[in-house]
């Protein structure tokens, strides 16, 4: 007949309740810290209930404009410390002072802006070149070579006063959420410094000196000077290059990486905003050469440009509520709760002054069974059957007095296991007194309780 109680038995762990307020307080403190971490940080701050999608790209459109005529940003050469009159013999030309040229956005913006970067020229070296007669782009052979004329260095006046209009947007691939910087549904934005500590501009901005920065936005308008302020750079501060020669950012050009970081707002993450975070790529100049064909087919100019180059990168994440993500977060939390038990057990067993008593109540140590392991299988089975028979109903050669304590019962079983390797039977009498077990037995049987054994009396089988 099938023993269904044994076949379908339920296995579970045995719990020891240690009645000590110190351990309980410590355990609840650990659990409280884990609870606060899971709820306040993992679920609320990190939005562990959302499916999140990293932004890998979007749309960025860039346009530039020079300072408006008559505006305070458009200054004459006499007002600019880096400009001098080319015919002024008292002007000493160096990396800080050069003749200036006035360019509009079509001249200063080279190469033409793409959807990721824009460069506004700050210095240009103009080198005229001529080719022998009969040489042109359509009739060029191995004898044709360009001959350089006298080069001229020029600063572009008011380069930092150029403004850039930035229109950008993103849309999730898996998350149905969109963020735009233009139109009536434009999301809020801001410009911060490279450390992210100071907010320099916000959008919508009805007080900005530029048009259409309020509710009906046509794009964020930011000057080159504002980007320079964000990275804490003065283009006229003289430094030294890798060769030890004096230079500055206006002379060599610079690269600024501008991250457009999109982030969700509110506890539910339903809102969206973006942040411009400019960062200077240190010790990295920017230059590019542009050939310009003149009126004659054998004449051209090479414009060696140095510029403030702005590189735009869209980053951040979009998200929406997802039950699976919430379930993963909660399962992780349950796993962390086990850490509270582990920490409490470590403190209980190794740190607190009553650790020996805690071990006595929470730990059971078996007898050394190395002798049993050396028995042949037939002998082991025979002796084991005898032990099982004697242990039934608490009768036979093993008797337990006041055996309500699990330690007493465990002690009797250890004595029984000892019978497997010795011909002498043992009388094991157990009782509880002030949390300890008093035993009458063969002390070799209880080597780990030798100091607790009293009146050890073996008797004949």
pLDDT of residue 198: 93
Smallest Cα–Cα separation from 258: which of 114, 115, 122, 116? 116
Supply 285's token pair. Answer: 């100049």
Q: Are 288 and 307 in contact (CB under 8 A)?
A: yes
Distance CA 135, CA 148 (A): 15
Smallest Cα–Cα separation from 205: which of 224, 181, 232? 181
Exposure on the CB side of residue 244, measured as CA atoms within 13 A: 0
Distance CA 336, CA 339 (A): 5
Cα end-to-end span (Å), the chain: 37
Distance CA 257, CA 136 (A): 41
pLDDT of residue 4: 84
In terms of pTM, does the model score above 0.85? no
Distance CA 120, CA 164 (A): 10
Averages of pLDDT over runs of 10 residues in the chain (461 residues) are: 83 85 90 89 87 88 85 81 76 86 93 90 94 82 89 93 94 88 90 92 84 80 95 92 87 95 87 95 90 85 96 92 88 86 89 83 70 71 67 46 46 52 42 36 38 38 32
DSSP 8-state assignment for residue 44 = I
| DSSP letters spanning 337-375 | HHHHHHHHHHHHHHTSTTHHHHHHHH---PPP-HHHHTS
Distance CA 257, CA 260 (A): 10
pLDDT of residue 251: 94
Q: Are 110 and 289 in contact (CB under 8 A)?
A: no
Distance CA 345, CA 361 (A): 12
């Amino acid at each position: 007949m099938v023993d269904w109680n044994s076949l379908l038995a339920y296995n579970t762990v045995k719990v020891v309740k240690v009645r000590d307020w110190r351990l309980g307080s410590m355990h609840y403190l650990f659990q409280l810290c884990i609870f606060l971490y899971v709820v306040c940080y993992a679920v609320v701050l990190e939005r562990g209930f959302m499916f999140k999608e990293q932004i890998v790209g979007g749309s960025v459109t860039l346009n530039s404009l020079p300072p408006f005529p008559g505006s305070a940003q458009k200054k004459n050469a006499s007002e600019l410390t880096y400009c001098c009159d080319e015919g002024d013999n008292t002007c000493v030309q160096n990396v800080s002072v050069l003749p200036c040229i006035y360019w509009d956005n079509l001249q200063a913006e080279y190469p033409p802006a793409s959807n990721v970067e824009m460069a506004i020229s700050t210095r240009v070296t103009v080198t005229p070149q001529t080719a022998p007669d009969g040489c042109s782009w359509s009739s060029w052979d191995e004898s044709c070579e360009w001959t350089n004329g006298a080069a001229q260095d020029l600063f572009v006046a008011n380069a930092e006063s150029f403004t850039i209009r930035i229109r950008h947007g993103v849309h999730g691939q898996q998350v149905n959420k969109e963020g735009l910087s233009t139109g009536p549904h434009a999301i809020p934005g801001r410009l911060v410094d490279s450390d992210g500590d100071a907010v320099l501009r916000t959008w919508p901005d009805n007080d900005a000196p530029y048009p259409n920065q309020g509710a009906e936005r046509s794009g964020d308008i930011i000057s080159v000077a504002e980007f320079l302020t964000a990275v804490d750079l003065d283009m006229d501060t003289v430094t030294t290059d890798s060769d030890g020669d004096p230079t500055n950012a206006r002379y060599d050009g610079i690269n600024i990486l501008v991250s457009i970081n999109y982030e969700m707002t509110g506890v539910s993450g339903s809102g969206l905003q973006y942040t411009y975070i400019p960062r200077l790529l240190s010790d990295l100049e920017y230059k590019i050469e542009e050939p310009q064909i003149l009126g004659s087919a054998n004449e051209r100019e090479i414009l060696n440009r140095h510029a403030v180059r702005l590189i735009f990168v869209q980053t951040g994440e979009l998200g929406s509520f997802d039950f699976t993500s919430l379930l993963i977060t909660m399962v992780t939390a349950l796993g962390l709760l086990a850490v509270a038990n582990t920490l409490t057990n470590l403190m209980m067993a190794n740190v607190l002054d009553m650790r020996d008593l805690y071990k006595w109540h929470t730990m059971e140590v078996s007898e050394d069974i190395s002798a049993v392991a050396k028995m042949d299988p037939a002998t082991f089975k025979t002796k084991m059957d005898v032990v099982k028979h004697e242990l039934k109903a608490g009768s036979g050669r093993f008797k337990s007095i006041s055996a309500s304590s699990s330690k007493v019962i465990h002690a009797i079983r250890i004595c029984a296991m000892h019978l497997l390797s010795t011909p002498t039977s043992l009388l094991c009498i157990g009782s509880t007194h002030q949390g300890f077990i008093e035993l009458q037995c063969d002390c070799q049987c209880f080597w780990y309780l030798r100091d607790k054994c009293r009146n050890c009396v073996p008797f004949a089988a």
